[in-house]
Amino acid sequence: MFDPQMELLITVFNDVIARLDATPDNPAPWMEAAAALGAAEEDDEDVQLAVECKELEELRSIRDGWLDGSRLMCLHDRDVLKRAMKAYRKSLKITVLDAESSLGGGPMSGGKPSDICGIRPPERYPIDVWNELARQKRLVDVGQGTFELPPGG
């Protein structure tokens, strides 16, 4: 079930497109796409029209535009990505502060600077969100589920 607070519409559309490529006459993917649009309260008329009219090629074109940057991502997905980045930065900050407060010697010392530059992102967001942020170069995937901010980020 689509969780509009944590998941991306583009992920739903990727799944819908793949399922429709396999079985074009199946109405279930279109119903799922419509339900996700409604849950996300997305008001992009082009997307709504493509789903309502069951235009697979139009939906594919919209999705491809989002992926190659020629079309602005839908407002819902931009909001989810913004919240995820905020959660990531907060988790990273807390992790660094925790490491700095315990690296130093005694309880009266100021600690030592931490060399932590990446963390496993908060699990409340699915991996697709973190992969999308890495694809957009807002995070760097360093492997094993760890992401870090890009240089200068």
Split at pLDDT 50, 70, 90, the class of 116 is confident
Q: Average pLDDT, stretch 92-116? A: 74
Q: List all residues 6 or more positions away from 45 whose beta carbon is below 8 Å from its beta carbon.
A: none
Residue with tokens 């009219």: 53
- What's the pTM value of the predicted model, to 2 decimals? 0.88
Mean of per-residue pLDDT scores for the chain? 91
Q: Which helix (H) or strand (E) holds 119?
A: strand 118-119
Split at pLDDT 50, 70, 90, the class of 106 is low
